[in-house]
Amino acid sequence: MLVDLSACQVHGTNAAGPPIKASMRFDGYMIQPDGTIAFATTHFTMRPDRAVREFLSFRVHSNGKIEARTMTSDAVNNAVLKDAAFDCAIGKGATFHW
């Protein structure tokens, strides 16, 4: 999956997301009774001032809308440093490659 958060909106607003582009792979997914597909990933990384864990979760709806959530926590004490949500769409902010 390729994600361009600048082509998404900050959840609940009309503001564009940050200028961040990323690619990710998912080993598994869950199809829920309403047809929503959910998947998530996490990774450990270093910032200039500390080590962090980043959690990314996505929910793809049958209408092509995608809810994206990112949460960053301190790798030492697990304190949440940032929690953000974005509204994307397949073909606008998110592209899947099979």
| pTM for the model | 0.88
Q: CB neighbours (10 Å) of residue 58?
A: 21
Our count of domains for the chain comes to 1
The two structure tokens encoding residue 19? 């200028």
Handedness of CA 53, 17, 8, 15 (dihedral sign): positive
Q: What does the pLDDT look like over 10-38, one tens digit per residue? A: 999 999 999 999 998 888 999 999 999 99
Q: What are phi and psi of 9, to 5 degrees?
A: -115, 145
Owning domain of residue 81: 2-95
Q: Measured between alpha carbons, how far is residue 75 from residues 40, 43, 55, 85 in Å? A: 18, 10, 12, 21
Q: What does the pLDDT look like over 50-89, one tens digit per residue? A: 999 999 999 999 999 999 999 999 999 999 999 999 999 9
